[in-house]
């Protein structure tokens, strides 16, 4: 194993062999066993039914509603489509306040829905937007807040809801990363007017692409269902236009399998998170993000913040060194949405206006978790970080 002072020369980036023989991703990438997959897909073949609100989709939506404690769980093709459809169905116009410290789909969905994002800076400790900052941005053209729940954790939804009610604007949530997570005993599915999840392969619940819009508002749910299907289903209601965001039976099958594994995947994630915390506890300048005590987390990501001065080595270089070893560390979200096209060109007023977002974009990185790692791999990853930290003069 590559530990100890003399070992820096053995780093893959210096020409040594890779630490891991297979890339270890930061996302979940959970696969069910082949046998379980085969059984589910045999059902699709024998029914000869691919899509359009099939039995697996209905089963999935019913199970999600029960598990999440929400009146309507409406499954769609992916999380981005979920955000676009929710934005259209809410009937909002003009400007929507959202963070720039998020995956670009948050803002892109607004643009597709003909809405203009207003980027709000995040709190440096929680990584989430706060009612205080949001309030400063509300003017007559703002019709909604799209808050993002990051890392399996959540924004202060109670304060945001209070503000939205006061100002008579809508509040909805991009909870793409938050499947299964709770806030003060409430599942994230029930926050705001609507809350959306992603079932992308890297998320804890995986449908090999998929997403879901959750809402306790039955009328909003019918509008969402009508937009989803290019034609009316259940009750036909007035909507601006239709689209196609249907989830196929193949996707629903994958989601059902993944749902069966949710509890064990969450427990495993939590175990890995705690192991990293223990092994990296004494590394100066490295902080592992803690989900706050207001909620139950899915521990979907192991998120680190690097103080380059205290650690003594640049974040970007550390990520490069790790990636050369097949430790596929990521820098979510670098650059921030406000510094990414088209927004840096179309909305230049935000480029230098979000100091906390910029600080986090420059200091945050993620470590591998999920099905493809184990205790031994996490030990090796931690050893590499500690070795680099201790032997910087040799680099
Ligand atoms: C993954 C993700 C999305 C997009 O979901 P897709 O299913 O990939 O379209 C949106 N927002 C955030 C915060 C995400 O992490």
Name the helix (H) or strand (E) containing 252.
helix 249-260
Mutate to test the pocket of ligand 1, among 25, 102, 152, 177 (most ligand atoms within 8 A of CB): 177
d(Cα 210, Cα 356) in Å, to the nearest integer? Answer: 31
Tokens linked to 272? 């890995």
**Mean pLDDT within 71-89:** 98
Element (H, E) at 288: strand 286-288
Q: How confident is the model at residue 2 (pLDDT cuts 50, 70, 90)?
A: very low
Q: How far is the CA of 337 from the centre of ligand 1 (A)?
A: 13
**Per-residue pLDDT, 7:** 66
Q: Which of 155-159, 229-233, 245-249 has the lowest mean pLDDT?
A: 229-233
Give the number of other CB atoms < 10 A from CB of residue 314: 12
> What is the percent of the chain where pLDDT is above 70?
97
The closest residue, in CA terms, to atom 6 on ligand 1 is 79
**Per-residue DSSP letter, 326:** T
Nearest to 172 by CA among 246, 260, 112, 90: 90
Q: What is the pLDDT of residue 236?
A: 82
Residue 142 to residue 150: CA distance in whole angstroms: 23
Q: Is the pLDDT of residue 233 over 80?
A: no
Q: How far is CA 134 from CA 140, 189, 288, 294, in A?
A: 14, 22, 26, 21
Residue 61 in this model has a pLDDT that exceeds 60 = yes
Q: Which has the closest alpha carbon to 84: 105, 98, 66? A: 105
Q: Which of 108, 200, 251, 340 to mutate to test the pocket of ligand 1 (most atoms within 8 A of CB)?
A: 200
The answer, yes or no, to whether residue 297 has pLDDT greater than 90, is: yes
Mean model confidence pLDDT for the chain: 94
The set of protein residues with a Cβ atom below 6 angstroms from ligand 1 is 78-80, 102-103, 105-106, 148, 174, 176-177, 198, 200, 211
Average pLDDT over residues 16-38: 92
Quick check: 6 pLDDT over 70?
no
- Number of Cβ atoms within 10 Å of the Cβ of 68: 21
Strands (E) across 110-162 are located at 116-120, 142-148
pLDDT at 237: 86
Atom number of ligand 1 nearest to Cα 80: 9
**Contact status, residue 18 vs residue 384, Cβ threshold 8 Å:** no
> pLDDT tens, 37-58?
999 999 999 999 999 889 999 9
Q: Is residue 357 over pLDDT 50?
A: yes
* 300-340: pLDDT as tens digits: 999 999 999 999 999 999 999 999 999 999 999 999 999 99
pLDDT at residue 198 tops 50? yes
Q: What is the pLDDT of residue 282?
A: 94
Per-residue pLDDT at 3 exceeds 60:
no
Q: How far is the CA of 59 from the centre of ligand 1 (A)?
A: 24
DSSP 265-284: HHHHHHHHHHHHHHHTTT-T
* Best residue among 103, 148, 255 to mutate for probing ligand 1, ranked by most atoms within 8 Å of CB: 103
Question: In the predicted model, is pLDDT for residue 202 greater than 60?
Answer: yes
Contacts of 94 (CB under 8 A, 6+ apart): 115, 116, 141, 142, 143
- Please give the Cα distance from 341 to 346 (Å, whole number): 8
Q: Please tell me the distance from the alpha carbon of residue 6 to that of residue 153, in angstroms, as a whole number.
A: 40
| 245 conformational bin, left if phi > 0, alpha if psi -120 to 50, beta if neither | alpha
Confidence bin at 234 (pLDDT 50/70/90): confident
Per-residue pLDDT tens for 115-165?
A: 999 999 999 999 999 999 999 999 999 999 999 999 999 999 999 999 999
């Amino acid at each position: 194993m590559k530990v100890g002072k003399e070992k820096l020369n053995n780093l893959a980036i210096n020409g040594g062999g890779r630490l891991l023989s297979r890339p270890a991703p930061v996302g979940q990438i959970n696969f069910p066993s082949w046998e379980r997959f085969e059984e589910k897909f045999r059902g699709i073949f024998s029914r000869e039914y691919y899509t359009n609100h099939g039995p697996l989709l209905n089963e999935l939506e019913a199970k999600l509603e029960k598990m999440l404690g929400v009146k309507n769980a409406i499954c769609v093709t992916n999380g981005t489509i979920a955000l676009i459809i929710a934005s259209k169905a809410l009937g909002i116009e003009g400007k929507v306040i959202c963070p720039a410290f998020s995956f670009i789909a948050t803002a892109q969905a607004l643009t597709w829905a003909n809405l203009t994002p207003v980027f709000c800076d995040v709190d440096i400790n929680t990584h989430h937007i706060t009612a205080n900052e949001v309030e400063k941005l509300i003017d007559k053209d703002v019709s909604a807040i799209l808050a993002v729940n990051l890392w399996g954790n959540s924004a202060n939804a109670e304060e945001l809801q209070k503000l939205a009610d006061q100002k008579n604007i809508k509040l909805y949530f991009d909870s793409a990363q938050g499947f299964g997570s709770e806030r003060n005993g409430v599942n994230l599915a029930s926050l705001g007017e609507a809350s959306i999840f992603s079932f992308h392969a890297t998320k804890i619940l995986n449908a090999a692409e998929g997403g879901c819009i959750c809402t306790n508002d039955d009328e909003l749910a019918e509008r969402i269902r009508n937009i989803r299907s290019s034609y009316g289903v259940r009750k036909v209601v007035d909507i601006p236009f239709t689209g196609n965001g249907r989830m196929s039976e193949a996707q629903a099958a994958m989601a059902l399998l993944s749902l069966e594994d949710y509890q064990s995947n969450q427990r495993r994630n939590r175990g890995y998170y705690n192991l990293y915390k223990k092994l990296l506890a004494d590394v100066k300048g490295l902080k592992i993000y803690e989900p706050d005590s207001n909620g139950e987390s899915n521990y979907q990501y192991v998120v680190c913040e690097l103080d380059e001065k205290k650690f003594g080595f640049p974040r970007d270089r550390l990520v490069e060194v790790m990636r050369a070893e097949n430790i596929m560390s990521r820098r979510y979200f670098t650059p921030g949405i406000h510094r990414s096209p088209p927004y840096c060109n179309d909305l230049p007023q935000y480029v230098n206006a979000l100091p906390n977002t910029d600080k986090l974009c420059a200091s945050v990185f993620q470590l591998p978790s999920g099905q493809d790692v184990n205790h031994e791999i996490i030990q090796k990853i931690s050893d590499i970080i500690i070795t680099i930290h201790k032997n910087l003069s040799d680099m």
